[in-house]
């Protein structure tokens, strides 16, 4: 698991809760190896976070909201897997959202920013598992289909056009998507 290193400004403001969130999130990124990942602060009013993959550095905004979400942390860590970082995840913000949701349910605590999801923030949790499953399928689809994001958008559109009873978990615990 990558070691967590906080910049001095982050160490001065990070709550125990944020450090715990960072450690839990980093544990889900074994690809990053054992070398440190540095976490700093951005005070930009527009941003929840940003990543500088070449430096294994992410910056988070601890001021903007009550909690830095796991989704934000996961999204920024996923950027470290994209070029010019490790290069094991394709470039792009939508791609970053897809690979973050596909990684682990921990990162489902917030609706993604760049992958368009046709629900509001409050109902997101009801759909997160189904959307993440489609993201995993899209990643598999990419092996043979370069238009896997188009494929995913079509599946998401279909999913959100289906009335809720057929789009949620069944009593047997299996997902019925369509
Ligand atoms: Zn991003």
* Cα 130 to ligand 1 centre (Å): 22
Residue 56 domain-assigned? yes
42-65, pLDDT tens digit by residue?
Answer: 988 888 899 999 999 999 999 888
* pLDDT tier for residue 125 given thresholds of 50, 70 and 90: very high
Residue 100 domain-assigned? yes
The count of other CB atoms within 10 Å of the CB of residue 148 is 19
Tell me the CA distances in angstroms from 142 to 87, 92, 118, 121, one per residue in order. Answer: 16, 15, 23, 28
69-114, pLDDT tens digit by residue?
Answer: 999 999 999 999 999 999 999 999 999 999 999 999 999 999 999 9
Residue 13 near residue 61 (C-beta atoms within 8 A): no
* Cα 86 to ligand 1 centre (Å): 15
* Cα 129 to ligand 1 centre (Å): 21
Q: Is the dihedral of CA 24, 168, 177, 155 positive or negative?
A: negative
Residue with the bigger pLDDT between 166 and 8: it is: 8
Residue 178 domain-assigned? no
Q: Which residues form the domain of 159?
A: 4-166
Residue 177 domain-assigned? no
Q: What is the pTM of this model?
A: 0.89
* Cα 28 to ligand 1 centre (Å): 18
Looking at residue 50, what is its pLDDT?
95
**Domain count across the chain:** 1
Torsion of Cα atoms, 26 then 95 then 111 then 150, to 10°: -150
Measured distance CA(99)–CA(71) in Å, rounded = 11
Residue 171 domain-assigned? no
* Cα 42 to ligand 1 centre (Å): 14
Separation of CA 129 from chain center = 13
Residue 98 domain-assigned? yes
Residue 40 domain-assigned? yes
* Cα 12 to ligand 1 centre (Å): 24
The environment of the single-atom ion ligand 1, i.e. residues with CB closer than 5 A, is 93
Residue 176 domain-assigned? no
156-167, pLDDT tens digit by residue?
Answer: 999 999 866 555
Helix (H, G, I), strand (E, B) or coil at 37: strand
* Cα 8 to ligand 1 centre (Å): 23
Residue 161 near residue 117 (C-beta atoms within 8 A): no
């Amino acid at each position: 698991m990558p070691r967590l290193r906080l910049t001095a400004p982050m160490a001065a403001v990070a709550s125990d809760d944020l450090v715990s969130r960072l450690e839990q999130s980093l544990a889900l990124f074994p690809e990053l190896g054992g070398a440190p990942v540095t976490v700093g602060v951005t005070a930009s009013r527009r941003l929840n976070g940003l990543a500088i993959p070449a430096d294994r550095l992410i910056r988070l905004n601890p001021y903007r909201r009550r909690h830095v979400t796991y989704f934000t942390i996961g999204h920024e860590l996923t950027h470290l897997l994209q070029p010019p970082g490790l290069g094991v995840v394709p470039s792009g913000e939508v791609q970053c959202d897809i690979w973050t949701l596909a990684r682990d349910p921990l990162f489902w605590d917030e609706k993604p920013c760049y992958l368009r999801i046709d629900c509001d923030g409050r109902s997101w949790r009801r759909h997160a598992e189904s959307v993440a499953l489609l993201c995993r399928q899209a990643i598999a689809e990419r092996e043979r289909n370069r238009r896997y994001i188009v494929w995913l958008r079509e599946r998401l559109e279909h999913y959100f056009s289906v009335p809720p009873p057929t789009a949620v978990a069944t009593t047997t615990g299996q997902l019925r998507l369509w």
